A and B are shown apart, each in its own frame.
Chain A
Amino acid sequence: MQKTGVTGVVAGMSMLLAAPAQASIFDDVGFTIGGFIRPEFSYSTSSDDNPANQLGNYYNERSVPRQAYAPPALLPAILDNLGLPPLLGGEVGTWTTLALPTLLAADANSPGLRGVNNATGGGTPMKRVDNDINYAIIRSEVELGVRFTPNLNLVARLRGIYDPKQYDEFDARRYRDVQGGISGGDQVLYGGKPNYFEYRVEGDDSPNPLEWAGDDYLIYFPTLVLEYNNGPLTARLGNQQIAWGQALFFRVFDVVDGLDLRRHSVLDYAQEEYSDKRVPALGARLGYQLNEELLVDGYVQKFQPTIYGNPNTQYNVIPAQFTVHDRYVEGGWDDKLSYGMRVKGNYGQWGFQAMAVQRYNPDGVFRWTQSGHNKDLPTNLGSLGGLVHTTLALQGLDSGALLAQSAFEASPGGVYSAQEWFKYAGFARLNAMSGLNSSITEFPATADLFATPVNTVEEAYNELNTFFIAAGGSLRGHIAREYAQEEVFGLGASYVTEGEPGSLLDQLIINFEVSYTPDRTFTNTSLSRNYIQEDSVTTALVLEKYHRFSQAFPATYLVFQHMYRSVDDLFGRHLSGYGGTVNKAADGVDGAHYFAFAFQQPFPQDIYRIGFATLYDPRGSILVQPGIKWKPRGAFTVEAFYSYIDGSLGGANPNDTLLSTVDYADEVTVRLTYQF
C-alpha cells in the first residue's frame, strides 16, 4: 500500500499545534489508496453440474418416452373446419381419451431427447457435462480515500472481476438449426454462450449505476460515498451497502439491500456473511448518536434488485428452460425509492433494536408472460406440429402468432417431456399442475392452440407431452420478473450473560431478532399473475461465545443460530411450492426451521485460523464447510475451504429441502490474495 498526501502543519481537528504554524486550505487534504488482487478457484468434487443449466440438465442424454394425445378441443375444431356442428358442448373426452396414432403424425409417439427435433430428427443430443472447475476468476479491489476536511471524506472502492471462462460451456448457437434455435428473449443472454456478468433487463442493458460489465468482466463501485460528520451526525451520500442486525448469514434485520449472486452465489465462505454480496444502491444514510446509549440510523436509496446468475452461468438458480423478462425498468421500478429507519440502544448487558422499512422486495416475483416471439410450430408434413399448424391454418390462425401470445416459444433448450416439466417444477419449488393450468387459463390464445386445463397428473403428462412433440421437441417458458412494495418491521434484543469467569455461561451473547412483513408478495407457485400475498414472520435466535479452551490458544469463537420462517424458505421461495416430484405436484410444507453452527479457531498470533460452518435443514439437507486461512506475510493471504452439500439426507425428497438446489456444488475453493 502506498500513501500520498499533502502534509499540513496545522491540524484543524487537533489540539496539538506544531510551532511555528503555517496554515493552508490544503492542509487537511489527504489521499489513501490500497487494495488487493486475488485469484479464486473452486474445484468440483461432485459428479454433477448445475441442473439449472442446459448442460447440467437431469435429462440430457436420456431418452424419455412421450405419447401425444388428441386434445379434447381438437375434434370440435376439426368438425368446425369441416363445417360440421360440434358433437357436444366444446370438448370431446379428456387428455387421456385418445392417444394419437402415428398414422396421423409420425412423431406422435417419439421420445423426448434434449437437443433433438422430433419433427425432423435433426439436432444433436445435449451432453451432460461435469465441470472440474466450478469457478475461476481473478478479482481486484482498490479503495481510494480522499479527506477534504476533518469532517468531509470521499471513499471510493472499485471492484474488478475477470472470468477467463475455464468451463465446458453451453453455446446456444449450436442449436440454431434445431427448431429454429433459441430465438426468443435477449439474445445476449440466451442466444449464445453464457454471459457471466451483465445484468440486463427489458429496455435497459445496464440498469446498475456505476457498473460496467461484459460477458467475462465486471467493474463497479460497491462504495462511492461522500461522508460528512459533525458531532453526533454522520451522513453518507452515494453508492453504498447497508447491513443491519446481529444475526449472521440469517437475514432478519438485514433487509436493506438485495444480494448479488452473479459470481459465487451464496457459496462463498459462510462466515464472511455476504461481505461482497450486498447490491450497492445510490442513496443517503444518516446516523445520529442521540446519546451514549441510542443510535438512530436511517436511509433512503434508489431501489436495486437482487441479481441472479445469468442463464447457464455456473451458479445460476433459474432453470435455463425459462426465458426471463426482467421488468425492472419497463415497469418503472428503477425510479422507486426504498427507505427505512432503525433505532439501536445499548444498556450494559442489554441491547435493543427496532426498525421500520418501506422497500421493494429486491428478490422480485415471477409470473408467466407472453413470449412475444412469433415462431411457427414445425410445418414438416407428417409431424404433429405440421398437423396442428395446418389445422390452425384452416381456421385462419397462425401457430407462431398464437404462440407469441402464449407464455411459450417453440425452441430448443426448453422442456422436452412431462417428466422434465414435473421434475423442474419441483426443483424450482413450483407447482407442476397449477403452473400448467395458469399458463393456459391466463393466456386466451392457448385455447386456439387446443390447450385446456387439466385435473389429474395423467392428463397433465399427456397434454404436456403432446405440446412438446407438437413444438418439435421442446417449449421454452417465458416469465416476467416484477417487484412488489412492502413494509418490514423488526424488533431485536440482546443480552450478555455473566457467570463464573471462564465458564461456558459467562459472556454468552444471546440475541433474538424478529421481523414482520404484512401482506408480503411472493411468486405464485403456479406462476400466475395473481401473486401470493401473505403475512410473513422471520425470527433468528443467535448464541455467540468466545471461549478459551486452553491457555496456549486464543479463544474459540462459537456461534449457534436458529431461524424460523413462517411462509418462505431461506432463499425467499414460498413454502407451498415444496414437495413436488416427477409424479406429483407440490403439496407444500408449513414453516421452515434452520439451524446453523460455526466456529473459528485462531492460532497464536492469528497466522493460521481454522473455521467451520454448517447449516442444517431438518427436512433433510445440510451444508458443511470447513476452512483455513493462512497469513504467511502481511501482503499475502491463502484461504481454502471445502463445501459439502447434501440436499436429500436419508433419502428425503430433495424438493422438500432447502439445499438440494445447490446439491451439485460440493467443491474446494482456494483464494490467494496479494494486497497492496
Chain B
Amino acid sequence: MRVIRYDREYSRRQFLGGLVRGAATAGVLMPLWDAVAKDGDVTRAYPEELLSIENWSKGKLKAGDEISAANVELVKDLLEPIKYHQVAKMGRRLRIAPTTTDIFRLSPWEYLEASLKNRGQAQFDAQGNIVTAQGKPWIGGNPFPDARTGLELFASLTLSWGRHDASMYAIKEYDVGLSGEIDFRYELGWAELSPVARVSLEPRPYWTGKEDKLRYQSVFFVKPDAVNGTSYLNIWPYDQNRFPELYGYLPEFKRIRQFPTDQRFEPLIPGSTLYLSDAWAAGDPLHTWGNYKIVGRGPLLAGVSGGWSPAHPNWEHRTHGGPKGLSFWDTTVELVPEAIVVEAEPVKFPRAPVSKKRVWFDARTGLPVGMVTYDRRGEPYHSFDAAFALYEAGGKSVMDGKHPYWSWSHVHAFNIQTGHMTRLEQVREIAGGHRSSANDPGLYERYLTNAALMRLGRA
C-alpha cells in the first residue's frame, strides 16, 4: 500500500485556515500560481490525495467509475448539495475522469499565457473597476489568477466570460417538466466579444475607440417558429457600476426596440428557468451585486474536462435520469483539488427573486463550476452546474488557431422548488447555419450590432 504523505485532514486544516483568515491564495503545498508559473502544472501545489479520486477515496473509487445513488455517499462531501440530491434521489449519474493537472487543458491557451504574463498588474480603481497599474482597462488574461477574495474571483469572471476575445456559441436548450418529458426545445445563438483585454484579435489589448466598453453580447433564437427572430443585444460599459444597454428584436414588432436594462431576472422565453443574470454565474455588472465573501474551500467533483461529445457530428450529448431518461446530461467529472465557494447578494435589484447566490470556483482557473441561488426566504431556488472541455478527444479535435478549442460544453439549470430542469449544450451548428466559433473578427458585424439584430430578426 502506498503511503500518502499528506492526508485529507492536512488539506482540510489548510483550507479551514485560509477560510478563517478570510483571504488566502489557492494551493495547499505552495501558492498554486507559483506552481503554474513554473511549468503549467498544478501538481506541486496539492498533496496526492487532492489530485486523484482513488487516493482521496482510499481506493474505493477510481477514474472510470460511475457515481450513482448506490455509491454517492462516498463522495457526498465532494458535491454541491443539489448535485448530491440529484444523484441520490433523481437518478443522475456521474462518470469519473482523472484529475487534469495541466492548466493549459483547462482554459484557452492565449488566455492562460496572458494570465501568467500580466500576473500581479491588476488592481481596482476608485470606482471598483479592474485597471492596470497605469489606470487603464485590463490588458488580457485573468487579472487575479491567484485571487485572494471573493470580489477578485467575481471581478475576473465578469470581465471575461468565455475567455476568448470573441465567441459564438450555437446552443440547444431543452426544458424538462415534472413528468420528465421535454416540454420546450429551443435553438439559440449566444455571441460575445471583448473590445478590451484582447489576447488574440487585433488590435489588442484594446479595440481602438471602444476602451470604455467591456463587452458586446447578443442572444438570439432560431427555433421553434414562435420565437424565431427573437434577439437581444447587450452593450456593456467597462464601468461595472452601470447596467448594459439593451436592444431587442421581437418578431411580432418586426423592428428593433430599446429595452430597460435592469430587468435581468425575467424569463427570456417560455419554459426556461434561465435568466440573463445567470449567465456564467456572473451575468450582471460586478457592482450590481455586493457583499462578496468566501464561505468555503475544499475539493470538489466537477465537470471541468471531458465534456465534449465528438462522437456526434453536431457535438450533441446523451442524456439519462429522471422519469424518462431525459433529465440529465451524461456528465464526466473529475476531482478538482480546490474549489472556492463565494457568496454574493444582489444590491441593485430591489425586487429580484433571489436573495443571494453561492458559486463554486475552480481555484486553479477561476472558472465557475457550480452555482446555487436562494430565494428571498433564503431557501435554495435554482442550481447550475457547468461542464467544460478541451475539444480534443477520441482522435478528433476542433482547432482554435494553433491550439485545440476550449469552451463550455453543457449546463444544467435546475429549479429546485418546481423540479423543472433546463439543459443547455453547445453544439456545432444550429438552424440557420449559425456555428460555434471563437476569435472570429466577423462576429461583431454578424451578431453584435443593431444591423445584425435587424438581420437576425425574422424577415
Contact = CB atoms under 8 A, between A and B. Distances in A.
A634 B271 contact: yes
Nearest to B352: A551
Interface stretch (A171-179, A286-294, A663-671): A286-294
B259 A605 contact: no
B449 interface: yes
Contact of A605 (B397, B420, B452): B420
B350 interface: yes
A248 B253 CA distance: 8
Contacts of A546: 259-260, 263, 266
B433 A150 contact: yes
Contacts of B439: 15
Contact of A19 (B175, B184, B399): B399
A506 interface: yes
B279 interface: no
B273 to A, nearest CB: 7
B257 interface: yes
B459 A225 contact: yes
Given A288-B451, A297-B454, A555-B266, A17 B398 contact: yes
B325 interface: no
A143 B225 contact: yes
A602 B267 contact: yes
Interface in B24-63: none
Contact of A34 (B224, B262, B401, B437): B224
* Interface size class, chain A: 35 or more
Contact of B261 (A11, A223, A507, A637): A507
Contacts, number: 227
B459 to A, nearest CB: 5
B266 A554 contact: yes
A288 B451 CA distance: 7
Interface in B401-459: 401, 405, 415, 418, 420, 429, 431-433, 435-440, 442, 445-446, 449-452, 454-455, 458-459
Interface string A1-19: 1010101000101111111
B320 interface: no
Contact of A502 (B351, B429, B455): B351
B446 A13 contact: yes
Interface stretch (A72-80, A228-236, A303-311, A399-407): A228-236
A127 interface: no
Contacts of A19: 396-399
Contacts of A275: 251-254
A348 B183 CA distance: 38
B218 interface: no
B435 A3 contact: no
A555 B273 contact: no
Nearest to B448: A292
A329 to B, nearest CB: 27
A316 B420 CA distance: 47
A278 interface: yes
Contact of B224 (A1, A28, A632): A1
B436 A607 contact: no
Contacts of A15: 400-401, 437-440
B269 interface: yes
A545 B258 CA distance: 11
A32 B434 CA distance: 11
Given A223-B459, A243-B255, A631-B271, A30 B400 contact: no
B376 interface: yes
B100 interface: no
A165 interface: no
A232 B449 CA distance: 8
Interface in A634-663: 634-635, 637
Interface of B: 168, 175, 182-185, 210, 222-226, 228, 235, 245, 247, 251-263, 265-267, 269-273, 313-314, 348-353, 375-376, 391, 396-401, 405, 415, 418, 420, 429, 431-433, 435-440, 442, 445-446, 449-452, 454-455, 458-459
25 contacts: A3-B223, A11-B429, A11-B435, A14-B168, A14-B435, A15-B438, A15-B440, A16-B436, A231-B445, A236-B459, A501-B350, A506-B262, A507-B260, A545-B260, A548-B352, A550-B351, A551-B353, A552-B353, A555-B263, A555-B265, A604-B267, A605-B271, A606-B269, A606-B270, A606-B272
Which 9 pairs between the two chains have the least Cβ-Cβ distance?
A502-B350, A507-B260, A147-B433, A14-B437, A634-B184, A548-B351, A289-B451, A243-B254, A32-B431
